Structure 1
Amino acid sequence: MVTIKDAFPGFSVDDLGAVREFYGTKLGLRIEDGQMGSLNITLPSGQTVFVYPKDNHEPATFTILNLIVEDIDRAVDELNEAGVVTKIYSGDQDFGTDERGISRSSDENPGPNIAWFTDPAGNVISVIEG
Structure 2
Amino acid sequence: MLGDSKSFGSFSVDRLDTARDFYADTLGLRVAEEEGMDALFLKLAGDRDVLVYPKDDHVPATFTVLNFVVDDVERTVDDLVARGVTMERYEQFPQDDRGILRDHAGEGPPIAWFKDPAGNVLSVLQETPR
Q: TM-score, normalised by structure 2?
A: 0.90
Q: Corresponding residue for 1:101?
A: 99
In the alignment, the residues of structure 1 paired with residue 47 and residue 3 of structure 2 have an alpha-carbon distance, to the nearest angstrom, of 22
Q: Mark the CA change 1:112 to 1:38 in structure 2 (over 3 Å): closer, same or farther.
A: same
The 5-angstrom pairing of residues 46-125 of structure 1 reads: 46-86=47-87, 88-91=88-91, 93=92, 95-105=93-103, 108-125=105-122
In the alignment, the residues of structure 1 paired with residue 18 and residue 25 of structure 2 have an alpha-carbon distance, to the nearest angstrom, of 10
% same residue: 48
In the alignment, the residues of structure 2 paired with residue 69 and residue 3 of structure 1 have an alpha-carbon distance, to the nearest angstrom, of 27
- The Cα of 1:110 is off from its aligned counterpart by 2.1
**Cα RMSD (Å) of the superposition?**
1.6
Q: Corresponding residue for 1:18?
A: 18
In the alignment, the residues of structure 1 paired with residue 48 and residue 64 of structure 2 have an alpha-carbon distance, to the nearest angstrom, of 17
In the alignment, the residues of structure 2 paired with residue 3 and residue 29 of structure 1 have an alpha-carbon distance, to the nearest angstrom, of 27
- The Cα of 1:46 is off from its aligned counterpart by 1.5
In the alignment, the residues of structure 1 paired with residue 7 and residue 97 of structure 2 have an alpha-carbon distance, to the nearest angstrom, of 38
**Paired AA for residue 8 in structure 2:** F
Q: TM-score, normalised by structure 1?
A: 0.90
In the alignment, the residues of structure 1 paired with residue 106 and residue 57 of structure 2 have an alpha-carbon distance, to the nearest angstrom, of 36
In the alignment, the residues of structure 2 paired with residue 61 and residue 105 of structure 1 have an alpha-carbon distance, to the nearest angstrom, of 23
Which runs of 5 or more residues in structure 2 are unaligned?
Answer: none
In the alignment, the residues of structure 2 paired with residue 79 and residue 64 of structure 1 have an alpha-carbon distance, to the nearest angstrom, of 18
